[in-house]
Amino acid sequence: MLRKNRVNKLGEHPICIRVTKNGEVCIIATEYSALKGDWDKRNNMPKNHHPDYEKVFSTLEERLKTIRVRMDELVNSNPDCSTKEIIDYYKKYKEPITVNDKPVATGENSESMKTCMTVKEYYDILMARMKSKGKHSTAGTYQPAFNWMNRKTPLDELKLYDITLSLLEDLWAFMVKEKEKEKLEGKRGVFEEATLFGYFKNYMALMNSAIAEGHISPLDSNFHLFKLHENFKPKVNPRPIPIISIKKIMDLDLVPYSRIWNSRNYFLFSFFANGINFKDLALLTRQDISSQRVLWQRNKTKVDCKAKLNPKVEEILKHYEGRCFQNYLFPILTKDYTSEQLFHRLNGIRGKTNKDLKVMQKLAGIEVEISFYTGRHSFVSALQDLNVPDNEIASFIGQSDGKALRNYLSKLSDKKSDAISDMVYSEMNTVV
């Protein structure tokens, strides 16, 4: 269809695809447009004198064919689906499912089900691919997730099409039960529900990847009916500690340059430097200091961050001047590392830092269990106590929740940023 109520700078109207089910209409935009005179109203296609007639015609024809296939697939598995669900399903699986440029047959007796990989086979492929691209952190989140799946049913006994709605629901119930059992037994390192939620995101991602690569058809499994965000809402339990507890950690008498002393400095730097996370802290160099501020790009969200060098931050950094490898601010990285070595190095030092923080927690008489990330949560909590607006808090900690918010955050002035940092530092100095 031609959207005649909209016109671009060239005076052309957007070409769209209209999907209708039970009187409900949804529109899918395309990258093409046309003048009224170049559009065939009867056939709802461009006329042959349209400048890009062949390209537009073949593209629209292919997309319409794919939409009809995807619509039939979804309606067969979920007759009550809405038009919006059809559009979402099409966008998720818009490309025709092919292997070696040939369409994949679907259904119980299809070749895709007869020759389907096991979950372990495809998992091993994904792991090798991630590691070859240096994505060791991502691969590291997949490993515990699929270790849990393997505990319930061995991965080499599961075909990709076995990952269904009922299997995922059963697996969730199994993991929750095991988690509660381990808690009662007093085992350490029992995961939070938010971690469990992350594991299931990995299961869904693996299946979506397998479908995109043609190893399985959407028709071979109903896993897409599993609505993660609707079925399971993770309970995130941030554990901030008040400024008075930060002060207790700061006042502990620790041996200079000992491991626990370094761990305290990493933790305090994170708190005073806007809750910087461990990897970003470890990668900071002297070149990241400019105009009395430390500047970095958050590795996770790619958002630019900055923190004022208040007296405590300067005091911490002064201890390490001339003592670190290649101008790093902290003695965490001591040589050149491959991406895999870097991943393991950061995990190892972060783990030791967290152990040291547990010792400091007891020495300082703090009841809340703390970790390195507590510094980030505590910084956010301190800003909230000082009535700093949420959007400015997001700027400080490098969050990226929405395009409009990112556009605003990028314009937060140095003067405003410094003023808020000063508020936190001043609040610390009022604690006796």
Q: Is the pLDDT of residue 341 over 60?
A: yes
Any domain includes 2: no
Residue after which a domain boundary falls, among 189, 210, 231: 231
Residue 3 has a CB neighbour count (10 Å cut-off) of 14
At residue 362, the pLDDT reads 94
Q: If you count them, how many residues does the chain have?
A: 432
Q: Please, what is the average pLDDT of the chain?
A: 79
Q: Is the pLDDT of residue 37 over 50?
A: yes
Answer yes or no: do 24 and 118 share one domain: no
Answer yes or no: do 161 and 291 share one domain: no
Any domain includes 256: yes
Answer yes or no: do 176 and 75 share one domain: no
Cα–Cα distance between 133 and 420 in angstroms, integer?
39
Cα–Cα distance between 343 and 269 in angstroms, integer?
21
| Domain count within the chain | 3
Any domain includes 116: yes
Cα–Cα distance between 50 and 193 in angstroms, integer?
56
Residue 77 has a CB neighbour count (10 Å cut-off) of 16
Residue after which a domain boundary falls, among 231, 254, 288: 231
Q: Beta strand 289-290 with 98-99: parallel, antiparallel or unpaired?
A: unpaired
Closest by Cα among 391, 393, 373, 372 to 382:
393
Average pLDDT value for residue range 169-198: 78
Any domain includes 101: no
At residue 399, the pLDDT reads 59
Cα–Cα distance between 10 and 30 in angstroms, integer?
16
pLDDT band at 278 (very low <50, low <70, confident <90, very high): very high
Per-residue buried b or exposed e for 165-193, using 16+ beta carbons within 10 Å of the residue's own CB: bebbeebbeebeeebeeeeeeeeeeebeb
**What pLDDT digit, counting tens, does each position of 356-377 carry?**
999 999 999 998 888 998 888 8
Answer yes or no: do 147 and 275 share one domain: no
Answer yes or no: do 392 and 272 share one domain: yes
Closest by Cα among 68, 44, 67 to 56:
44
Any domain includes 68: yes
Residue 130 has a CB neighbour count (10 Å cut-off) of 17
Average pLDDT value for residue range 242-253: 91
Task: Please give the DSSP secondary-structure letter assigned to residue 159.
Answer: B
Average pLDDT value for residue range 163-171: 86
Q: Is the pLDDT of residue 410 over 90?
A: no
Answer yes or no: do 92 and 178 share one domain: no
Answer yes or no: do 282 and 409 share one domain: yes
Any domain includes 346: yes
The residues facing 87 across adjacent strands are: none
Any domain includes 130: yes
For residues 192 and 144, is the Cβ–Cβ distance under 8 A? no
Average pLDDT value for residue range 335-343: 87
> Which phi-psi region, left, alpha or beta, contains residue 420 (left: φ > 0; alpha: ψ -120 to 50)?
alpha
pLDDT band at 425 (very low <50, low <70, confident <90, very high): low
Answer yes or no: do 396 and 342 share one domain: yes
Phi, psi (deg, nearest 5) at residue 123: -60, -45
Residue after which a domain boundary falls, among 199, 231, 263: 231
**Whole-structure pTM value:** 0.56
Answer yes or no: do 189 and 212 share one domain: yes
- Quick one: which H or E segment has residue 273? none
Answer yes or no: do 118 and 78 share one domain: no
Three-state DSSP class for residue 387:
coil
For residues 288 and 295, is the Cβ–Cβ distance under 8 A? yes
- Tell which wins on pLDDT, 321 or 116: 321
Cα–Cα distance between 312 and 116 in angstroms, integer?
59
Per-residue buried b or exposed e for 84-116, using 16+ beta carbons within 10 Å of the residue's own CB: eebbebbeebeeebeeeeeebebeeebebbeeb
Q: Is the pLDDT of residue 426 over 90?
A: no
Cα–Cα distance between 54 and 39 in angstroms, integer?
13
Answer yes or no: do 410 and 377 share one domain: yes
List Cβ<8 Å contacts ≥24 apart for 283-286.
Answer: 283/328, 283/333, 284/328, 284/329, 284/330, 285/326, 285/327, 285/328, 285/329, 286/327, 286/329
Any domain includes 6: no
User: Which CATH number do you get for residue 126?
Assistant: 1.10.150
User: Which CATH number do you get for residue 392?
Assistant: 1.10.443.10
At residue 104, the pLDDT reads 39
303 lies in which domain range? 243-429
Answer yes or no: do 80 and 18 share one domain: yes
Q: Is the pLDDT of residue 329 over 70?
A: yes
The residues facing 159 across adjacent strands are: 118
Helix ranges (H only) for 12-77 are 53-77
